[in-house]
Amino acid sequence: MSEVLIENVRLIDPAAGLDTSGALLVREGRIADLGPALGRPEGAEVIDGAGAVLCPGLVDMRVSLGEPGHEYRGTVETAALAAAAGGITTLAALPDTDPAIDDPALVRFLIARGHETASLDVLPYGALTRGCAGEEMAELGLLRDAGAVAFGDGARAIDPARMLYLALSYSRGLGARIVQHPEEPSLASGGAATRGELATRLGLPSIPPAAEAIMVARDLRLAEITKGALHFAHVSTAEALELIRAAKARGVDVTCDTAPPYFDLNETAIGAYRTYAKLSPPLRAEADRAAVAAALADGTIDAIASDHTPRDADDKRLPFAQAAAGGVGLTTLLAVTLARVHAGEIGLAEALALLTCKPAKLLGSPAGTLAKGAAADLCLFDPDRIWQVESGKLPGKAQNTPFDGRALEGVVLGTWKNGRRVFGSPAA
């Protein structure tokens, strides 16, 4: 493979504390050198970054692929197209497919499907319980050996306390985290919006915000007892974040992520029954949105994930209470995160850490760095260029974005996987 020099860029590598102007040299798919004073090797392809930011390829730690079982919603291939357009080169795939990822062969299948795209590494979560049904624990050791990076039941809460207790105890020996969808099932069942004035006015079945905090409080105690590693996905309420913050201070092995809708939108986005904004958990009150944004800045939240959940148009063309929850987010992950940078709430390097090295560390992946010798997984973006999100024009199959119509600052100009450009034209 020929050498590629990407010059005239702002190099940001949060893992190394690097933020400098310069260039980066790719040789045989790996980062050969980088810094402010690189010469042009003879015969190298030279790309002018025009002052844009060059950072590690993004690592998205929560993605529903649709494959296997719901290919009409999305596949690994269509997710790879959307991911490349969003600067994402590594993603963790949820296990609640059909069939669920409760068999080592299915873990290996998803890893292989990622390699086939040549633009994306797929890191599968293993199902904690068989069929993600919450009744019988899956063979966690075999799934781990096959390549599962962590365990959970996807969008379904791990409900029986004893099941989670045993899983946290057992997973310690496997060196893997248990990932929880923090929502008390009996309180959330049948709900479509956050309980409050808006849900009442719209006549929607509602979920009390405390459903999240109640599950978080229970599970933190179980993690404390077992010394197991616990991760809460898409945390969306101030109360839950305060519980997690306090548990971290006590030394509990707990981490959490959130998704862009929970720090950029509030419950008013559902408007007059706008089903693209029906998510799980539901959008919250403005006070909770502000608390999530603050938790990004103070370090309580360990990563930002897209929570990409593709839905077919027919899944959403239903009355709000019956419509499927979920929104796509691969292509908008970076730009919506940058909104908090433009608002002055968090620094650019800190925001990129939540999208690169921090999720990579949680997943045990070597991705998310510009270190010499690392795979040349790269994202080149202009943080100030404006674009508008338009449902129907996004890359990939599903178009159910809660950000439809939103103007965003931050355009991905190029994405490289193992040194090969997988998105953007040479003139970009």
Catalytic residues, by residue number, are: 307
Strand order in the sheet with 58-63: 58-63, 88-93, 121-124
Contact 235, 255 (CB under 8 A): no
Tell me how far apart the alpha carbons of residues 211 and 1 are, in angstroms, rounded to a whole number.
53
**Residue 355: which of 385, 388, 376, 329 has the closest Cα?**
329
Tell me how far apart the alpha carbons of residues 407 and 119 are, in angstroms, rounded to a whole number.
27
**What phi and psi values does residue 332 have, to the nearest 5 degrees?**
-100, 0
DSSP state of 242: H
One-letter amino acid at 284 equals R
Whole-angstrom CA distances from 292 to 81, 300, 331, 345, 427 are 29, 9, 21, 11, 38
Tell me how far apart the alpha carbons of residues 25 and 46 are, in angstroms, rounded to a whole number.
9
Tell me how far apart the alpha carbons of residues 216 and 181 are, in angstroms, rounded to a whole number.
9
Most distant pair of Cα atoms in the chain: their distance = 68
Tell me how far apart the alpha carbons of residues 127 and 181 are, in angstroms, rounded to a whole number.
13
Residue with tokens 């490349």: 84
**Residue 177: which of 366, 369, 364, 365 has the closest Cα?**
364
Tell me how far apart the alpha carbons of residues 328 and 135 are, in angstroms, rounded to a whole number.
29
Residue with tokens 């898409």: 234
Buried b (16+ CB within 10 A) or exposed e, 16-38: eebbeebbbbbbebbbbebeeeb
**Residue 325: which of 337, 307, 304 has the closest Cα?**
307
